[in-house]
Structure 1
Amino acid sequence: MRNLVDSYMKKRNQGLIMAAAVTAILLYLTLSHVKPADIVYTLKSTDPLYLVISFFIYICCNVFRAMRFYVLLDKRIKIHSLFNIVCVYNMVNNMAPMRAGEISYVYMLKRLHNKNAAIGVSTLIVARILDFIAICSLFTASSWIAAERIEGLRPAAIMVSLLIIACFLLLIMLLRCRECLLYPLDCYLDKNGLDKDPRIEYIILKLREMIRAMESMRDTKMTVLALIISFFIWIANFSVVFLVVKGMNFDIPLHIVIMGSTSTVLSTLLPVYGIAGLGTSQGLWTLVFVPLGISLNDAIISAFGYYIIQMIFYLTLGVYGLISLKIVKSVQQNSFAFRRCQ
């Protein structure tokens, strides 16, 4: 047992060191092309009205996320309580290293509502699958709009569309075939001696977790409702990005904003992720924006400006969620103590 703990701590420390290194390198590469004073000036000159509207929409986005978990949890937890959990979850997930928010969501469900880890993990995986469908659909639509206006982008739009269709087909096969789909894969890996590879073992483990989580998606009515809510989540999320960028006085079309901000979302899937997304999200944002016609200077400044404002949003609602959860927990404990005294 001690060896397992030591191994985990060693990998965790290695991951933190790697994340810190990636953050430092990418920050140097991006900030070397702009003056930090320009980022500060851009933030100071941001239109407050756009910030107020975007923050209100961000609150709506979290309400939608709470509604989706409400549906996925079979309506057994109140939306208000889930809203507080979502606020804390988003803050921890985006500000703490190593994507710790995934664990925080499972922990809060267990601690506050006595839901076991399997339920927490399965609803989280289903939510991620629905997010993937919504994001890819909006990204595909945006790429085709961009292809109409930017010469030479159509082949890339076609490739993206084909890749997304292939991913959707894989999800459908996983939903319908479940473990039957993994059986021939297990045989192939075992035959070729690949089943002991840690990376392949990790992928197979995640596929099995996904298959188990997708059991709940067999309820068509629930799945359709959760998917509709997922589209509202990401329409609201991309609207926040667009309004913040607009408030910073950058004239970037909505479809390009969607494509650029999608890259920051997908950056969380990278094997090495910067601490709190710092460095990786700005790097990918810039790599997408520049080929789409945005100047390098504007791309970098808008990336850092949005990142800072986004973190303020996360922190504000996250602190609110923590305070609300603490108050609710205190009330529950006092009520339980009162009943015991009677």
Structure 2
Amino acid sequence: MTLIKPRLLAIVSWAAVLLVLGVAIAWVGPERLVAPWRSIDPMALLVALALMVASYLIRTLRITRYFPDRLAGHFWSAFRLSSWHNLMNNLLPMRSGELAFPVLMQRYYRLSPLESVPVLFWFRLLDLQAILLIGLVAGGHLLGLSDGVLGLLFALLLLAPVLAYGLRHWLHGVLCRQDGRLAQKGVTMLESLPDRPTRLLGTLFWTWANWLVKLAALGWVLAALAPVGFAAGVLGAIGGDLTTVLPVHAPGGFGTYEAGVALLLAPLVDEPRTVLAAAVNLHLFVLGTALLAAALALFIRRPSPR
């Protein structure tokens, strides 16, 4: 009975999502969905695809450089891990795909969840910071924010990793003075977080490199799919990617991703059908590249058990 309920819930969820997607496509019209792809230069689209693959490689570097002792010489197996984690994160609902990261890190490299889960949480916080900061630069004025509000938000987001770094050291000192199993687990988890400035700056560098490359690709694709400029395209792409970082995430991202794109793009485009068509097409591009990377990763051997 306990197995039937989750399966039934998954079937109902996917059925509801596909129904909503079908209604949206019928409302927009298949011709409106296909038309933008006919006008895109194939070579330029190939460049955007190459940038997306480059972002997957940079994301892999963020992992291998964070665990240099355990993942030395394992770049391509880490690429396999990162690609499948990314695909699961895109396909599974409510952030459940994030479980792939600690599971695969333990299976491939014998890293316990106490070591990998805090790092994943740290990566996600930095992802959120990068997305929001790039969004403020690309479209803060498009959203009608004043210079004062923009400056305050920018300063707070820039300081957030430094404050988290200081909080980590303070909590580590407190827990080291405590006895008990729970305190020991807390110390283990905190020790997996950046413990020196170079490690902090390293994760910040690879996070920003990843998002600058990825959002450049997605912003260009969205600008080619909708009557907006590159900055507005980046802003709309950020709306979609925010739904992949925040807890609310439908199966496959269908519906939530489009809503994120449309939320930031709708004030800039008068025609709702055009906005929805561009959001659906951008989502298909993101899922297509994720599937491609995961398919290529199948040809990479998993690391041998140590």
For the aligned pair, the TM-score class normalised by the smaller chain equals 0.7 to 0.9
Distance 1:107 1:84 in 2: 13
Mapping for residues 174-213 of structure 1, pairs under 5 Å: 174-178=164-168, 212-213=189-190
Distance 1:303 1:158 in 2: 31
Partner of 1:295: 271
Partner of 2:77: 81
Aligned-pair distance for 1:128?
1.0
Q: Which amino acid aligns with 1:267?
A: T
Partner of 2:36: 42
The CA deviation string for residues 240-279 of structure 1, in whole angstroms up to 9 with x for no partner, is 112323554x442222122211111222355542211101
Aligned-pair distance for 1:284?
2.0
Distance 1:269 1:124 in 2: 12
Distance 1:256-1:122 versus aligned 2 partners, 3 A rule: same
Partner of 1:153: 144
Mapping for residues 1-342 of structure 1, pairs under 5 Å: 6=2, 16=10, 19-20=13-14, 23=17, 27=21, 30-31=24-25, 33-77=27-71, 78-144=74-140, 147=141, 150=142, 153-155=144-146, 159=149, 162=152, 165-166=155-156, 172-178=162-168, 212-213=189-190, 216-248=193-225, 250-268=226-244, 272-293=248-269, 295-325=271-301, 328=302, 332=304
Tell me the matched-pair count.
290
Distance 1:113 1:180 in 2: 29
Distance 1:66-1:170 versus aligned 2 partners, 3 A rule: closer
What is the TM-score when the length of structure 1 is the normalising length?
A: 0.72
Structure 2 residues not aligned, in runs of 5+: 172-184
**Relative CO higher for 1 or 2, CA cutoff 8 Å, sep ≥ 6?**
1
Partner of 1:197: none
Aligned-pair distance for 1:215?
5.7
Q: Runs of 4+ in structure 1 displaced over 6 angstroms?
A: none
Distance 1:214 1:266 in 2: 28
Distance 2:8 2:157 in 1: 31
Work out whether residues 26 and 283 of structure 1, in 8 Å CA contact, stay in contact via their aligned partners in 2.
no
Work out whether residues 90 and 244 of structure 2, in 8 Å CA contact, stay in contact via their aligned partners in 1.
no
Distance 1:18-1:254 versus aligned 2 partners, 3 A rule: farther
What SS does the aligned partner of 1:76 have? helix
Distance 1:22-1:227 versus aligned 2 partners, 3 A rule: farther
The CA deviation string for residues 21-80 of structure 1, in whole angstroms up to 9 with x for no partner, is 873675477446421232133334443212211111111101111111112213531322
What is the TM-score when the length of structure 2 is the normalising length?
A: 0.79
The CA deviation string for residues 116-139 of structure 1, in whole angstroms up to 9 with x for no partner, is 122221221121122122112211
Aligned-pair distance for 1:166?
4.8
Work out whether residues 126 and 161 of structure 2, in 8 Å CA contact, stay in contact via their aligned partners in 1.
no
What CA RMSD, in Å, does the superposition of the two structures yield over aligned residues? 3.5
Overall identity of the aligned pairs, in %: 19
Distance 2:202 2:98 in 1: 23
Larger radius of gyration: 1
Distance 1:38 1:266 in 2: 26
Work out whether residues 136 and 150 of structure 2, in 8 Å CA contact, stay in contact via their aligned partners in 1.
yes
